[in-house]
């Protein structure tokens, strides 16, 4: 019989439902508790996913329930404190929604604390666990498009609600924090190296202290480059294209793949892939890593590099200059 892992979640907003559904669909994931400072959001989530134990205080939940994994689905401004509280509460593993932190310095602090206390921490880039993404990576590594020369990625949505955290700088919002983080993560992942320099521009709204749109270009050296565009207030657009010396890959749906039939285009031919719930897959990866030597598909070092690139993009967009990425 497969091991059952006890899951608790803090933050019962929109993304929490994806994690609740993942637990319902998996025989290994038991959602035992939920926490939120908003009683109405907490009750709604608990009723929908039949969660018996609910709390308004994270420390109390961790003391009472001792989960195997804590899912952090709060606003980005709360992530660091939530993770520190989970470490204090002897939680074995933590899955933190993207963006894991406000900047690279916070990720460094997270790495120091979790390493010292032997706690597994993984950023919630669910698309990295989906079979389509893994198949695309395999095609690249097997040489089916030759050596990568260029990648472009896109993620935009029609969000215009200024009460939503994504459009509030005080809660850690902004185009790069919610959408662009996927774009740059995919570029780095598929190329398999880190950009040396970035150029970025976009639309900054001082009243809300967020970049509503950000577009940028990466120089990886050796003639390899990448570009992305991200932002709110337009049509929903998500895709990536990878161009190599011997072919190309186009994924018309980049981040929203789930269960059912999925596909991408390899050198003009459609490749079908059996889908899966990526939220269940990422939780299973983290859970199994607590009792085996299975590697995390999104290690913390990867999250640190992603945060460094985001920092450089923000600096470039503010200054209007090319910026070297910190190493």
Domain ranges for the chain = 5-124, 127-324
pLDDT of amino acid 10? 98
* Residues in the chain, pLDDT under 70: 1
pLDDT digits (tens, 9 = 90+) for 140-157: 999 999 999 999 999 999
pLDDT of amino acid 168? 97
User: For the chain, what is the mean pLDDT?
Assistant: 97
Assigned architecture for domain 5-124: 3-Layer(aba) Sandwich (3.40)
pLDDT of amino acid 294? 86
Region of residue 23 (left: phi > 0; alpha: psi -120 to 50; beta: else)? alpha
DSSP strands (E only) in 194-314:
197-205, 210-221, 224-231, 237-244, 248-251, 261-266, 269-274
Query: Does 5-124 match 127-324 in CATH topology?
Result: no
Q: 312 near 319, Cβ under 8 Å? A: no
Tell me how far apart the alpha carbons of residues 73 and 50 are, in angstroms, rounded to a whole number. Answer: 18
pLDDT of amino acid 1? 41
User: Pick from 316, 157, 313, 168: which is nearest to 228 by CA?
Assistant: 313
Domain 127-324 has CATH 2.40.50.140: no
Please give the structure tokens belonging to residue 33.
Answer: 């508790």
pLDDT of amino acid 2? 74
pLDDT digits (tens, 9 = 90+) for 103-150: 999 999 999 999 999 999 999 999 999 999 999 999 999 999 999 999
């Amino acid at each position: 019989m497969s091991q059952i892992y006890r899951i608790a979640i803090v933050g019962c907003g929109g993304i929490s439902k994806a994690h609740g559904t993942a637990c319902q669909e998996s025989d290994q994931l038991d959602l035992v508790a939920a926490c939120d400072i908003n009683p109405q959001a907490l009750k709604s989530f608990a009723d929908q996913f039949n969660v018996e134990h609910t709390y308004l205080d994270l420390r109390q939940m961790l003391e009472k329930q001792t989960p195997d994994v804590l899912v952090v689905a709060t606003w980005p401004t709360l992530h660091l404190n939530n993770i520190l509280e989970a470490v204090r509460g002897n939680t074995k593993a933590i899955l933190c929604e993207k963006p894991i932190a406000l900047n690279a310095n916070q990720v460094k602090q997270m790495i120091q604390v979790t390493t010292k206390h032997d706690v597994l921490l993984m950023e919630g880039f669910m698309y990295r666990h989906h079979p389509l993404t893994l198949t695309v990576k395999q095609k690249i590594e097997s040489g089916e498009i030759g050596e990568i020369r260029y990648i472009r990625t896109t993620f935009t949505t029609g969000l215009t609600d200024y009460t939503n955290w994504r459009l509030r700088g005080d809660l850690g919002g902004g185009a790069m924090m919610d959408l662009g983080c996927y774009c740059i993560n995919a570029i780095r992942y598929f190329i398999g190296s880190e950009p040396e320099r970035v150029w970025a521009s976009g639309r900054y709204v001082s009243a809300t202290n967020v970049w509503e749109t950000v577009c940028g270009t990466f120089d990886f050296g050796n003639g390899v480059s990448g570009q992305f565009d991200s932002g709110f207030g337009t049509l929903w657009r998500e895709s990536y294209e990878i161009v190599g010396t011997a072919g190309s890959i186009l994924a018309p749906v980049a981040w929203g793949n789930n269960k059912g039939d999925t596909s991408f285009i390899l050198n003009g031919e459609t490749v079908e892939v059996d889908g899966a719930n990526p939220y269940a897959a990422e939780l299973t990866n983290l859970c199994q890593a607590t009792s085996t030597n299975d590697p995390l598909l999104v290690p913390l070092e990867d999250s640190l590099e992603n945060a460094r690139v985001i920092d450089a993009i923000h600096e470039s967009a503010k200054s209007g200059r090319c910026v070297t990425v910190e190493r």
